[in-house]
Structures are given as structure tokens and as C-alpha cells.
Structure 1
Amino acid sequence: MAPALTLKHLSPEAYWYFFKTLTFGSTDPEMHPRLAQLAMEIARLQIRSINSAYTTSNLLRDNFSIQFWCKVLSFLRGFIQKHICKFGVHPFELLNKNEPVQLGRMASPSEDFIICHQYHRSPHEEVPEIRLQDVFYGSIKKNGKFEVLVWRSQIPPYYSYVHACEIRERKNTGAKRKRCMKDGTTSS
């Protein structure tokens, strides 16, 4: 079997074209200027990650709603900013280096979603049924360690790209909240 084609980072213009084509398919983005603007901002946040392009474009293509795309953009901005503040590096930079990365989940903000490592499987090997976008953006109820399908190549050697993941419940480390005031005193 032939080795898989390895892509280096695309230029910003080439990445935008790639992401736009995956997201809009045969639909003309000029017919949806607000969606095109949102898609361009989402693509910019992904710092030219091929895996992220596949994951996010599949999600957006399945829901052509400005409100939903705004929600995805807001989620991406928030978790990327938190990750940079906490770890000092963009999460997709770690993914591009195949290093573990801690992400959030759009539907379950009380959980940490960790991608431990990524690899590919040949077309003859079994692949997970759970898709990355269903865990990252959706409401899949899963805890512990498991695998997700990121995307399947449409060109030879037809590899499937898989992430080994883990979902952990966040530990509540916040300060104890004060209860309502009764008679001018606070109870805790």
C-alpha cells in the first residue's frame, strides 16, 4: 500500500479555499455573505489545521444557520482564549504536533475533552463510529477513554484519521457560594 500523502501547512489563502470548499460544497458562498464571513473567521481561528477543517466544516455544512455558526465561532474563540491563557499555546498548535491537548465541549461546558494522540488506520481496519464533531460540539454522553473518527480520506490510500480521547468531569474548585441573605445576615 502506498504511504499517505502528508500535507504541510497551507498558506492562509489556500487554507481558506480548502475550508470554504469543504464547508459550502457546491453552494456559492457569495449567496450567503454573512455565513461566508463567519466561515472565514472560523477558518482563521483554526490556524490552518487540516483535521480541524474537516471536523468543523462537516458540522457547519450540516447546519446552515447564522445563529448556529455564531455559536460555533463564539465557542471556538472562548476555548482557544482560555487554552492560551492557561497553557500559553494555541490548542491547534499542539494538535498539529500530535501532542495532548485539553479542549472544552460546546454542549457540556462542565467537562474537559482531552485529545491524547492522533493516528490513522488503513481502510481494512475498524474505525470508531463516534465522530469528533459529535463529541466536541455535540451532546454525546461519554466518559473515560475512547476513540473518535476525525475524517476519512477520499483519496488513496483511504486512511481514516482517529484521535484517542478522554472526557473528564471538571472538579469544582470554585469558592463556596454564599446563600441568600436573611434578616441582613449571610448564611453559607
Structure 2
Amino acid sequence: MELQLLDTKVIEFIFHHHIVKDFPTAETRPLKNMLQLYHSQHYRGYGLYDHDELLGYAFFAGDQTQQVLLLDYFAIVENKRSFGYGSQFLQLLKKQMQGNLIIAEVESVESTKNSEERQLRHRRIQFYLRNSFTKSSLNCRLFGVDYSLLYLFDQQVDDNALYEYIKALYHSIFNPIIYKLFVKLKRGVK
């Protein structure tokens, strides 16, 4: 298995064949926005491949000259799930992105009353925790969806410093009007 940096053609393919199926519409960044961020060097993607077969994909948003990036999408393609590829992929990404502070937004367990959905969200958070992420006390509401914020870094990060990093990150990927209307970053409990 290997990581490959994705170009715009592959990003478009993954968007149309995987992202729109793997993520709820409310959590799907428009392709046009992804490509705009890509061309302004605020977006990059990696594919996990076994020879020429795509096993998974990960997209990162943020100013590439900075060392704070948002894990915008992370998924294993549907027919390859439950074989341990997700953990292997994260370990390869961790090595590739060493020195970067990686932020992951995971749907908040507390924001749903549906017990099945709560279990699924809890399992997602546990997956990231098993793979070296740390849960912060920070939460955010983006475009009406509540998220818990986790991070991956070589050392512990104080939540106050993390708050400032994430705030700057969101300002780098959202224009001021969108930020004001649709981004609510807040402190909470772990």
C-alpha cells in the first residue's frame, strides 16, 4: 500500500464517485470550492492505493505554508471497509504529515437523540482516539452541524492555543461572511 498525492482529475473523480455517497449532503463541501482551495494552495488530497486500486482518500484544508491543517474528509471506499485499512491509512498520513497539527471534526455524539447514530458517532471518535488523535474540549457548529474537535500532533496542545490555531485555520478556508454566518467555535468539555 502507498500514499499518492491527488491531482484535480482524481479529486473530481473521488468527489463524484465517493464523497457524495460517503458523506451527508450537509457535510459535503462543493467541488467548486474544493478546487478553488486546491488552486490557491489551501487544499490537498491523498489516496491510499494498493497498486492502482483506490482503497481510501483523505483531504486536508488550510494554508499549506502553515502547519495547521483540517482533515476535511477521510474515508475508506465502501467495499474496502472493515479490513483495517483506515488505521493503516492514518498511520501513513501521520508519517507523511509529521510536524503538522491535524484537526479532525467528528460529528458530536451529544447532538443526536437517535441511539443508533449516537453509537456510530461514538465509534468514529474511538477510531480516531485509537489512532493517536486527542480529544479537545473544543466544539464547533459548521453549517448547522455540531462537531467535536480532535487533533493529531507530536505533543499535547493546550486547548486555549488549539482554539487560536483552529480559529486561524477556519479564517484561512472560509471567507469572512461565511465564517460569521456559519462557523461557531466554542469551548466545551472533553
Q: TM-score normalised to the size of structure 1? A: 0.32
- Which structure has the larger Rg? 1
Return the structure number with greater strand share.
2
Return the structure number with greater helix share.
2
Q: TM-score normalised to the size of structure 2? A: 0.32
